[in-house]
Structure 1
């Protein structure tokens, strides 16, 4: 608070009074609100009082120069700093513990640390903190476990865009899943040489799929990097085969595994709703089609909201394959119901769409030789549904 010091009027003979340094001593911890007058001419009587305005001096304590209770205030050395300006008061270290357990049992500590900070504004008269600034915010980058031949990590640590004061993160333990075959694939109704439909649908297939393509152009070639959102495993499918099937609004909308195998990776990719390729919409010379979304399926695999599930098939001729659920139109959610490390049998549920027309994709590596069974139909948007768990391909 400002302090007012009032000098009494001085009765003296008419004279001029000049201030010099040291004539008025400012109390410790205070500072002048305005400058002192340099001179004053006294009258014989009725002199005006001289008002000197002071205020409490404040200082800002930064996180890289914290203070202890044994430290003296710089402009009030008779007082020490009080609580609230120590290292821990102005700095907060937040840790995301990540432990990688390798197949041989050795571990890697991949934990991530960030430090959030704030400043303190302190009153030099009282030694107390008046206010703190807001805490800074931070972020954690994505962590991908190292690749080990013959194994795949059961998970990775996703990026955290905003880390705030007081946030707590549960420890993350990453282990490895063997890509070898260790399950029974001979039970009734489960034939290791073929793949089955994931849901009731009509379909098409494309071979020798490139890694990158301008999928928005007319003809909508597939773009693997865009479809899988730059997943590090994308290159495994370069030159491979894509099978895509369309579901109308009234079709069966649950996903059933096309192969028996282990779930080795599963995640969601945010994307658009009600999207369509320009060539089927505004740039179509015949005008936008009322079913433009249906004719934009390759485009939607790279732009729409989707769920991605990698399966290590028990059949070594199939190996690692990928299922991608693509939400077309008004799909409200792509729900994954399996977990990483889980073994599924062919025909078991992987997840489901919630409402609306949808499409889905199966990705096979270039070493997989498939003979598709489209049940006497020509692939296309006008073909009839293939029933759930019917054969769609045989591995040669």
Structure 2
């Protein structure tokens, strides 16, 4: 076929490097991190810089997906991460909005190499407990084990996207909210420069359980048309559980990142939160190792739990609004000031979330307000 959008079985255009193990750690282990995506690798990296004896375990030799964040969300310890591109994207709805926030696509290989300052095993882990992990037939023991393998609940609300990288220089757009004709499930278009081209991705912001991949491929085709294989540099599929923060089992590993529920229930972003919570989590783990309670974990603090509750109400609104109303509701987010947007989209700021939700509600018309109130009542009855 000479003009198709490749399916989800088409992998990255650039071959992944072969798996390789680092030299084994010497002496007793302070921490084992299972799952070395951006969240787990960042946590292990920060621990190694504290002098902790850390072991990382992950069968994947590279980060396969595209990771982006706003540069004003970077923690103080990572002011200059290696990036593929920087842009200042707009948002398009009934009108065009310019939040003015710089957006970075991370350079996966360079950042991963910067983070991996500790020994790693490129194998799948099994029998993961509070202090022990088995890899093949060998047990590895540490003072604490962290599970950072990502979210697992695919039956609840999920964010899902299908995208391709094209050799073009389209203007950066974080969300193109304009609805597509004949589609029952609302999607938006994400159009961001990456190395060598532009990532065009059609995203279902939130849906109860996964959609057929064909629905997103068809939506992307309607959005950008067909392109010859020679123009398609890579394809990408994304499926993110949008579940609440996890309870921590006192006998199991400590979750971190998306595994712990760091995914914002409205935006689906989690990388910036994981970076931001790396050091506070290590502070808490150092106390837990010495016998303190799990309540020390930063995301178990009242402000995070309150913010999750507020955002769960917003998530219910997103789930219940139909394709005709959702774009209008989302556009109201970008009528907030840049500072208000940042607070509203940042996990762990319940005051910013509450103010943003009130401002968005007041900006909606009467019909949309009724729909929002029905969703809030539905959420309160569950």
TM-score, scaled relative to structure 2: 0.21
Q: Which has the higher contact order (CA 8 A, sep 6+)?
A: 2
Task: Kindly indicate which of the two structures has a greater share of residues assigned to helix.
Answer: 2
Determine which structure has more spread, i.e. the larger CA radius of gyration.
Answer: 1
The structure where strand makes up a greater share of residues is 1
